[in-house]
Amino acid sequence: MKSLADSATAAIKWVHNLAGLHSPTDNPMVKLALQGFKRATSSPTLRKHPITPNILMKIYEKYGHDHASLADLRVLFACFISYAGFLRFDDLKNISNNDLTFTSDRLVIHLASSKTDQFRQGSDVVIARSFKQSCPVRVAERYLAALRDPPGSLLPVLRRLCSSTKGLTPTVHPLSYTRTREIVLDAIKPFVTDISAYGLHSMRSGGATAALNANVSPFLISRHGRWKSTKARNAYLQPDAKSDLIPSQSLGI
C-alpha cells in the first residue's frame, strides 16, 4: 500500500512538472496526509530468527560425516561460511575459487562487490580457523576438494549439481536464491519448531548475534559484516535473554 501511495505521489508530481505547474504534492497538508496514510497502513517488519551455534552443530553432525556427498558439503559450505563471514546470499553466490585464500590460521574471501560497496572497491572477509571438526575453514576446504575446480577458477563455487554415472557432478551454472534457500531450510527444519521463522538471512543474523553475545565489540561486528550504519547492524542483532538483564544489573541498587 505504501509503495502504491509513493508511486501515485511521484506520478502526480512528474505530470505537473512536465506541464510547468506547481505540484499539489508539495503542499504541507498533502505531505501530512501521505505520512498519516503510511502510518495507518504500516505493519511491523518480521525479522527472521538467527541461527544459533547449537543448531549449526546439529547440521554439521548430520551432513559433516566422513563420507559426506558433494551435496552434503555444499549445504555445509552455504551454512557455515555465511554464518562465519556474516555473508548475504549475493555475497555468497559470487564467490569463486579465485576469491579464496587459505593460510595456516585463516580463510580470506575477497568480495569484488557487495550491497554496501557502492564504489566497487572490493573488501576482504577473514574467517579464522577454529581447528575443530566443524571449523568453517575446514568445511570450505572439504567442499572445494570435492568440487575439484582448478586453482584460480572463476566459476562460482556455489553451483548446481547433476547426476551422472560417476554420481553427483557440478555444472557450470550458479545456484539460484530459491534453490539455496530450499537446501538451507531443509537442513535447518529438523532442529526448529517453526521453519517459517528462518531464512538465508538467519545465517548472517546468527553469526552477528553470536559475536555480540560473546562480547565482541560493535565496531568489529560492523567491520566484519560490512555494515555502514549502526541502525543497519542492529537490525540483525538479537541478544540472548541474559543480555537483557545487564542494564538493570549494572545500576548498583
Q: Delimit the domains of the chain by residue range.
A: 11-41, 56-184
CA 244 centroid distance within chain: 25
CATH topology of domain 56-184: hpI Integrase; Chain A (1.10.443)
SS3 88: coil
Give how far Cα 128 sits from Cα of 57, 73, 105, 225, Å. 17, 19, 6, 15
pLDDT value of residue 35: 83
pLDDT for 61: 96
**Which one-letter amino acid corresponds to residue 11?**
A
Query: With a cut of 70, which residues of the chain have pLDDT below it?
Result: 1, 42-45, 114-121, 244-253
Q: End-to-end distance of the chain based on CA atoms, in angstroms? A: 48
Q: What is the pTM assigned to this prediction?
A: 0.77
Q: What pLDDT is recorded for position 253?
A: 65
d(CA 194, CA 198): 8
So what's the pLDDT on residue 218? 87
Amino acid 231: pLDDT = 76
The 3-state DSSP composition of the chain as helix, strand, coil percent (nearest 5) reads 55, 10, 35
Distance CA 100, CA 107 (A): 7
pLDDT at 108: 94
Asked if residue 34 lies in contact with residue 67, where contact means CB atoms within 8 angstroms, the answer is no
| pLDDT tens digits along 64-99 | 999 999 999 999 999 999 999 999 999 999 999 999
What residue type is assigned to position 39 of the chain? Answer: R
The whole-angstrom separation of Cα 192 and Cα 29 is 49
Retrieve residue 86's grid coordinates: 556474516
